[in-house]
Amino acid sequence: MNQTLAGRLLVVEDEEHLAFSLEFNFEAEGYAVTVANCLRDARRHLDEASYDLIVLDMMLPDGLGIDLCRELRVGGDHTPVVFLTAKGAPDDVVAGLDAGADDYVTKPFALQELLTRVAAMLRRQRWNDAAPAAGAVEVFTFGDGNRVDFATREALAHGEPVSLTDLELRLLRFFSERQSLVISRQELLEDVWGLAGDTNTRTVDNFLVRLRRLFERDPSRPDHFVTVRGVGYRFVP
């Protein structure tokens, strides 16, 4: 092989035309791609091999993509998951993030957007796997019984254990290092997601909804993850 492998992807998608297009384009970018067209097929591939990332459609002939995602997370598997959801189904986004997905793209999507997100996520994964910077905060506590241990990834929300994805951990670390500072959505997309030049700031808001639901006493009136109108967010300990 004369080309460096960009990563091993499992693409779970039942629309044949889209699955083919994803396989073709990811392979052109140097990824090794396995396609599954239903949950059963996906589970079989996951039993037989390991992947760097899973692209997971939401609506599949034998169930929901988020069920597979939840199964993986419950089993302690943190393989990054980017899920594909239909436009006009905002509840699916929240459900997907709750199930432990790392990121999402809304159908119909521009192929380049998905390629960019997958590449950014794998880059982040490599940073996460690297040793933390000297002097980095390892345990972050705030509010009422909220505690995140970045080294072990153990987290408590109101004293109860919760499971966080790599992206959520990264986002929390970013806020923990910039307490009380105003942070723009653009800055978050660039520094946390690794998506320079991406203008899809709604992504950021959906992740903040999820963090508030986990850590705020009243998610509709946040004390910690505070919106700064027209700009972004500010973390208040």
Give me the residues paired with residue 33 across strands: 9
Which amino acid is present at 58? Answer: M
208 vs 187: CA distance, rounded Å = 14
Task: Give min distance, CB of 59 to Ca ion, in A.
Answer: 4
β-strands 232-235, 182-184 pairing: antiparallel
CB of 14 to Ca ion, least distance (A): 5
57 binds Ca ion, rule: CB under 5 A = yes
Of 9-17, 40-48, 125-133, 136-144: span binding Ca ion (CB under 5 A): 9-17
Residue 37 Cβ vs Ca ion, minimum distance, rounded to whole Å = 9
Site stretch for Ca ion (CB under 5 A), options 56-64, 103-111, 159-167, 229-237: 56-64
Phi, psi of 103 (to 5 degrees): -160, 170
Q: What is the number of other CB atoms lying within 10 angstroms of the CB of residue 14?
A: 18
Q: How far is the CB of 61 from Ca ion (least distance, A)?
A: 8
Q: Which residue is nearest to Ca ion (CB)?
A: 59
Pick between residue 14 and residue 102 the one whose CB is nearest to Ca ion.
14
Q: How far is the CB of 63 from Ca ion (least distance, A)?
A: 11
Give the gyration radius of the chain's Cα atoms: 18
The answer to whether the bond into 108 is cis (omega within 30° of 0) is yes
Q: Which is nearer to Ca ion, 36 or 148 (CB)?
A: 36
Q: Is 14 in the site for Ca ion (CB under 5 A)?
A: yes
Residue 223 buriedness (CB in 10 A; 0-12 / 13-18 / 19+): middle
- Contact status: 41 vs Ca ion (CB under 5 A): no
Q: Which stretch binds Ca ion (CB under 5 A): 58-66, 99-107, 164-172, 193-201?
A: 58-66
Residues 6+ apart with CB under 8 A from 188: 171, 174, 204, 232, 233
Q: Give whichever of 85 and 116 is closer to Ca ion, judged by the CB atom.
A: 85
Instruction: Give dist(CA 188, CA 5) in Å, integer.
Output: 28
Stretch that binds Ca ion, among 8-16, 129-137, 147-155, 224-232 (CB under 5 A): 8-16
Among positions 38, 59, 119, 156, the unique one binding Ca ion when judged by CB under 5 A = 59
Residue with tokens 């939840």: 70
Q: Kindly list the residues in this chain that would bind Ca ion in the complex (CB under 5 A).
A: 14, 57, 59
